[in-house]
């Protein structure tokens, strides 16, 4: 996802909070919590529903497209290399990143069966909102999962923090390591993503 430098600089943020008061901030937190709750209900209903596997995969793909800022996540994960890629490479990378992400999540639909979750608190951070949940898979200990939401405009997931580990930061680190091993070659990364998406 894109690197977000908040336009809410400290003085502006303070002025905004003073002007709007706490109810508006609380409304944002409630909205983010409701967004995550609805998304998880929809995801688990698909995973545990009676439809065929391919239909479940297609439904999960729609959730990703509508609930996740896929383009923003893709740009964030490429990091500084986004600026060195040509426009054609950027476009191909974005498309392959999207396909690989959808494939990775939809291929694991069986892992979501029987999962339960409990909603926790929503917390405003500098430029986004983190919604805490506790996710429990059958036979496993509960896991703390924070869903990071971009609150401006239509809500979108911009990161998932599982047991304190940011998935988008982990992915960016993995891409940087891959590129370092391959002469900082964007075509090499694109080729690897193409293979992953085709998997």
User: Is the pLDDT higher at 183 or at 16?
Assistant: 183
Per-residue pLDDT at 25: 67
Least confident window among 77-86, 95-104, 166-175, 178-187: 95-104
pLDDT-derived band at 11 (thresholds 50, 70, 90) equals: very low
pLDDT per residue as tens digits for the range 64-118: 999 999 999 999 999 999 999 999 999 999 999 999 998 888 888 878 888 999 9
> 170 pLDDT exceeds 70?
yes
CB 63 within 8 A of CB 39: yes
Least confident window among 51-60, 125-134, 171-180: 51-60
Helix/strand/coil percentages in the chain, nearest 5: 60, 20, 25
Q: Which two tokens stand for residue 31?
A: 């909205």
User: Is the pLDDT higher at 125 or at 90?
Assistant: 90
> 2 pLDDT exceeds 50?
no
Q: Summarize the confidence of residues 161-179 as an average pLDDT.
A: 95
Q: Which two tokens stand for residue 38?
A: 């609805």
pLDDT-derived band at 173 (thresholds 50, 70, 90) equals: very high
- Residue closest to 147 by CA, chosen among 80, 79, 63, 82: 63
Mean pLDDT score across all residues of the chain: 85
3-class secondary structure, 103? helix
Per-residue pLDDT at 109: 81
User: Is the pLDDT higher at 11 or at 118?
Assistant: 118
Q: Summarize the confidence of residues 34-55 as an average pLDDT.
A: 92
CATH code reported for the domain at 10-198: 3.10.450.710
**Residue-range domain boundaries for the chain:** 10-198
- Residue closest to 8 by CA, chosen among 169, 158, 159, 128: 128
Q: Which two tokens stand for residue 163?
A: 């047991």
Helices of type H across 2-150 = 10-48, 53-67, 70-78, 81-84, 87-106
pLDDT-derived band at 8 (thresholds 50, 70, 90) equals: very low
Q: Summarize the confidence of residues 12-28 as an average pLDDT.
A: 45
89 class by beta-carbon count within 10 Å (0-12 exposed, 13-18 middle, 19+ buried): middle
79 class by beta-carbon count within 10 Å (0-12 exposed, 13-18 middle, 19+ buried): middle
């Amino acid at each position: 996802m894109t690197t977000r430098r908040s336009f809410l600089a400290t003085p502006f943020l303070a002025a905004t909070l003073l002007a709007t008061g706490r109810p508006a901030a609380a409304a944002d937190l409630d909205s983010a919590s409701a967004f995550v709750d609805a998304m998880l209900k929809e995801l688990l209903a698909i995973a545990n529903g009676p439809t065929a596997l391919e239909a479940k995969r297609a439904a999960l793909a729609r959730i990703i497209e509508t609930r996740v800022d896929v383009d923003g996540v893709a740009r964030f994960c490429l990091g500084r290399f986004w600026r060195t890629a040509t426009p054609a490479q950027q476009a191909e990378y974005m498309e392959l990143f999207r396909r690989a992400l959808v494939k990775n999540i939809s291929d694991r639909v069986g892992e979501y069966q029987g999962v339960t979750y409990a909603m926790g608190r929503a917390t405003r951070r500098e430029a986004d909102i983190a919604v805490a949940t506790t996710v429990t898979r059958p036979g496993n200990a509960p896991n703390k999962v924070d869903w990071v939401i971009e609150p401006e405009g239509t809500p979108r997931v911009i990161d998932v923090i599982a047991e304190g580990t940011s998935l988008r930061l982990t992915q960016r680190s993995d891409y940087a390591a891959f590129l370092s091993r391959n002469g900082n070659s964007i075509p090499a990364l694109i080729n690897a993503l193409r293979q992953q998406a085709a998997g």
